[in-house]
Structure 1
Amino acid sequence: MTDGFLLSPGAGRRIEAAGMTLKVGAEHTPRWSMFEAEIPVGFDVGAHLHHEAEEIFYVLGGELDLLAFEPRLRTGGDWQTWESRTGAKVARGGPGSAMYVPAGCPHAFGNPGPGPARLLFLVAPSGHETYLREMGELIAAGPPAPDAVAALRLRYDIEQLTPLVPGRRADGAGVSPPAP
């Protein structure tokens, strides 16, 4: 039997390119990874899905626009306008809001502002930190080629449905682009 551990506030392994701190990952368990993330104003991860992974997002501070449903029609543009077959629409979540994303479910989040948002992010199985590290390496070498990003995302079970737009606010207005 292995002992657990306690992390102090702010502890964990920082993944700068992602604006995340890894709290628990593959080195601890094969079941899931847990991150604390700061989402800058304007960041829009774009709608995407994972065929195998499940995710949980818990908003700690600020607000995020959240989507976790199959839309009536998948359009390649703005996920903000998507609506489910049952009439569900993108929701704005503040502190205490949680979003569960089962495998195969399209999902997205974006920060409409006015300030940064913080969230607790869990993904199962573990290992998402490896994807984030590799993405950081691509970014560190300069603006990454779109085909390199697409190949990396595909290797990690990420099917991008709408563009990841690091410099677009979730409400569509332009801002200076932070690193994805």
Structure 2
Amino acid sequence: MSGLILPPGQGRKLITKAQEVTFKATEADGSSVSIFEVVVPPGFDVGAHVHGEAQEFFYVLEGELELLAFEPTKRTAENWHEWESPEGDRMVRATPGASMFVPPNTPHAFRNASTEPVRMLFQCLPSPVHELYFEEIAKIWSSGARVDPDAVQEMRRRYDVHQITPLRYEPPPAPADRPAAAAGA
């Protein structure tokens, strides 16, 4: 049996307009934990959700993410940004070196509210649930057609992603000081 060594930037990549995922260790490598490097673009909000079986670990490498991992006193369907736990916990602004562990059945979310991409290390147990999920959602986002939110919701259900608030990707507007001709380039 051999281990797996990947130089920086290496691994199988899935790149879409909404995320860039690099597979670092997968079931195909003999790993029971799926490990990914994820680039989260500005304006991406995964929405609050829960997994019945999976447990996850997030580690911020570069940038700033808003993170949440608790059952709120009151769930709201539109967004999770103001949720509060019975102990008074709220969303956390996580910078490089911050991490979040999420056991099964725990509502959690992340959002890039900044204007810069964020890089994070993401692990999910058991493998290969999120591997298959990332592959399928990459196909949906890359289809070029309008993304059907009902199709995304059904796909997420199949992968043990029980959505509480909507997944959103609303890129920030282009800088106003860019010339109009360059904006579409």
Query: Normalization by structure 1: what TM-score?
Result: 0.90
Identity of aligned residues (%): 45
Q: 1:157: which partner in 2?
A: 160
Q: 1:14: which partner in 2?
A: 13
Name which of structure 1's ranges 86-95 and 124-133 shifts more when overlaid on structure 2: 124-133
Contact persistence 2:49–2:162 (CA under 8 A): yes
For residues 46-85 of structure 1, what are the structure 2 equivalents within 5 Å? 46-85=47-86
Q: Amino acid of the residue matched to residue 142 of structure 2? A: A
Q: 1:147: which partner in 2?
A: 150
Could you tell me how far apart the structure 2 residues matched to 1:5 and 1:27 are? 11
Q: 2:24: which partner in 1?
A: 23
Structure 2 vs 1, CA of residues 135 and 74 (structure 1 numbering), >3 Å: closer, same or farther?
same
Could you tell me how far apart the structure 1 residues matched to 2:57 and 2:101 are? 5
Query: Normalization by structure 2: what TM-score?
Result: 0.87
1:21-50 CA distance string (max 9 Å, x none) = 010112123521001111111111110111
User: What RMSD, in angstroms, separates the aligned Cα atoms of the two structures?
Assistant: 1.4
Runs of 4 or more off by more than 6 Å in structure 1? none
Task: Quote the offset at 1:86 in angstroms.
Answer: 0.8
Q: Structure 2: state its 5+ residue gaps.
A: 175-185
Residue 150 of structure 1 aligns to a residue in which SS? helix
1:30-80 CA distance string (max 9 Å, x none) = 521001111111111110111000000000011000000000011101201
Q: 2:96: which partner in 1?
A: 95
Which of these residues, 132, 154, 161, is aligned with residue 130 of structure 1?
Answer: 132
Q: 1:42: which partner in 2?
A: 43
1:166 and 2:169 matched: yes
Q: Structure 1: state its 5+ residue gaps.
A: 169-173
Task: Quote the offset at 1:114 in angstroms.
Answer: 3.4
Aligned length: 170
Could you tell me how far apart the structure 2 residues matched to 1:145 and 1:77 are? 18
Task: Quote the offset at 1:101 in angstroms.
Answer: 0.4
Name which of structure 1's ranges 90-99 and 37-46 shifts more when overlaid on structure 2: 37-46
